[in-house]
Amino acid sequence: MDALEKKKKEKKLKDDLKIMPKPVKDFFRRISGTSIRTRTSYYYDLKLFFEFLIEFVDEFEGVTLSSFSYNELNKINLEHIDEFKEYITYYETQIKASNGANYEITRQNSEWGINRKFAALRSLFSNLYEISLTKDENDDNRLKKNFARLIKLEDTNVKEKYRMSIEQIKEFLDVIEAGEGKEGKLTNNQKKIIKNNYLKRNLCIISILAETGIRISELVGIDFQHIYFDEKMIKVTRKGGDEEFVYYDFSEEYIMEYYEERKLIEPKKNHENAFFLSSYKSRITDRGVQKMIEKYAQLFTHHTISPHTFRRSFATNLYEITGDVYLVASLIGDTVEVAAKHYTKQNEKRKRDAIKGYLAE
């Protein structure tokens, strides 16, 4: 996300928050250091929660979104939380079409979607309660009880997802270069267009994703000045806004070849610093990278390959090599808990092999 786009999103969120309750505004001041993506997600999830209370819970009849005070907030109980969970599992809402008409649609949330909304609630109550500890107990603008510890997230089992071995990643790069694989091939015209315009960029993107495990948002945010060629490192902005360096070695040739080509491209205004450009000469988007990967994946395998496949592959492959979950967490910019849960699962065969002969003597 470039600076201009981020500025627009920040302004929109600031305008949207004007209609929200005072407790929510206090919460957003508390989390101002988090990424705009995170805060925007929190906004929509919390707005849905308060709209649910106002529309469906008798205790809040007649209360408006903007007038929902700490007094109302302190009336919330665990039953309301459980009712909200039932509601978001399957509910109806209105959307406005491009022609201005309103349509009612039915939405259904998966366990992941429910967890995301409950995570927003936990963060709201936890932060507001911390703020309340600094206030006088007679202050009306304080949360008197902390629901955060009572809001349980669903324990969604981490399913085994496709990951690529180091050999498969190299084979995938070969498929990109050739424009064909065991599952199909591009037309000669497609190969010609890509070779003349996007091949070096595509190879560079995949090699960086595969060798560093960075998120797609971190990749598209790379500017010229973020690449330190002599030190072979790239500065990326992590989820949450922190800046860190990631290191490359295998990708060096791909990066240098695209760098020489990129210097000759004149980008659109306000996109001059973007390292990766789309066919429109503007900063490439998350969706642009996804579509590119999907196109090549169809030539390579019947499995789904997404940008996150390379992150998953990087983390799991590295863990198998090093056995160091702390190192893996540090390199991918995640917590040790997340790294351990998602990227260090042992397959069933390895677990069986591990106990063979144990206590047999």
**Can you tell me the distance from the alpha carbon of 234 to that of 212, in angstroms, rounded to the nearest whole number?**
9
Domain contains 361: no
Give the residue from 320, 356, 107 showing the smallest Cα distance to 343.
Answer: 320
Domain contains 161: no
Same domain, 239 and 269: yes
Domain contains 357: no
Query: What pLDDT is stored for residue 347 in this prediction?
Result: 47
Same domain, 125 and 195: no
Percent of the chain with pLDDT over 70: 84
| Cβ contact 253:173 at 8 Å | no
| Cβ contact 339:332 at 8 Å | yes
**Can you tell me the distance from the alpha carbon of 351 to that of 103, in angstroms, rounded to the nearest whole number?**
52
Token pair listed for 184: 């199909």
Question: Three-state SS for 223?
Answer: strand
Same domain, 135 and 200: no
**Can you tell me the distance from the alpha carbon of 355 to that of 317, in angstroms, rounded to the nearest whole number?**
22
Same domain, 178 and 301: yes
End-of-domain residue from the set 90, 118, 150:
150
pLDDT band at 98 (very low <50, low <70, confident <90, very high): low
Same domain, 190 and 274: yes
Q: Encode 63-119 in three state secondary structure.
A: CCCCCCCHHHHCCCCHHHHHHHHHHHHEEEEEEECCCCCEEEEEEECCHHHHHHHHH
User: What are the backbone angles phi and psi of residue 304, rounded to the nearest 5°?
Assistant: -80, 130
Give the residue from 77, 85, 73, 82 showing the smallest Cα distance to 129.
Answer: 73
Query: What pLDDT is stored for residue 155 in this prediction?
Result: 56
Query: Domain limits at 310?
Result: 166-352
Give the residue from 194, 201, 197 showing the smallest Cα distance to 299.
Answer: 194
pLDDT band at 97 (very low <50, low <70, confident <90, very high): low
How do beta strands 184-185 and 227-228 pair? unpaired
Distance of CA 105 to the CA centre of its chain: 26
Structure-model confidence comparison of residues 240 and 266, the more confident one: 266
Same domain, 176 and 295: yes
Task: Say yes or no to pLDDT of 114 above 70.
Answer: yes
Token pair listed for 181: 């694989």
Domain contains 335: yes
Number of domains the chain contains: 2
CATH of the domain at 199: 1.10.443.10
Task: Say yes or no to pLDDT of 272 above 60.
Answer: yes
Mean pLDDT computed over 246-252: 93
Same domain, 188 and 127: no
Is this prediction's pTM over 0.85? Answer: no
CA atoms within a 13 Å half-sphere pointing along the CA-CB vector of 89: 8
Mean pLDDT computed over 304-331: 84
| Cβ contact 299:183 at 8 Å | yes
Domain contains 241: yes
Domain contains 358: no
Same domain, 344 and 248: yes
pLDDT band at 361 (very low <50, low <70, confident <90, very high): very low
Query: What pLDDT is stored for residue 300 in this prediction?
Result: 94
Give the residue from 297, 94, 98, 53 showing the smallest Cα distance to 186.
Answer: 297
**Can you tell me the distance from the alpha carbon of 18 to that of 22, in angstroms, rounded to the nearest whole number?**
9
Same domain, 324 and 213: yes
Same domain, 142 and 179: no
361: enclosing H helix or E strand: none
**Can you tell me the distance from the alpha carbon of 212 to that of 314, in angstroms, rounded to the nearest whole number?**
7
Same domain, 142 and 193: no
Quick: pLDDT tens for 152-182.
766 555 456 788 999 999 999 999 999 999 9
Task: Say yes or no to pLDDT of 209 above 90.
Answer: yes
Quick: pLDDT tens for 11-57.
999 999 999 999 999 999 998 888 888 889 889 999 999 999 999 99
End-of-domain residue from the set 150, 179, 196:
150
252: how many CB neighbours lie within 10 A of its CB?
13
Query: Which residues, in sequence order, are CB contacts of 186 under 8 Å at separation 6+?
Result: 179, 180, 194, 299
Task: Say yes or no to pLDDT of 348 above 50.
Answer: no
End-of-domain residue from the set 93, 124, 150:
150
Question: Three-state SS for 39?
Answer: helix
Token pair listed for 137: 């107990």
Average pLDDT of the chain?
86
Task: Say yes or no to pLDDT of 220 above 90.
Answer: yes
User: What are the backbone angles phi and psi of residue 15, rounded to the nearest 5°?
Assistant: -70, -40
Quick: pLDDT tens for 321-346.
877 777 777 788 876 666 666 666 54
Give the residue from 287, 276, 277, 296 showing the smallest Cα distance to 236.
Answer: 276
Domain contains 51: yes
Query: What pLDDT is stored for residue 214 in this prediction?
Result: 92
Token pair listed for 238: 């992590």
Token pair listed for 59: 């205790």
Residue pointed to by tokens 């060629």: 229
Domain contains 156: no
Same domain, 275 and 309: yes
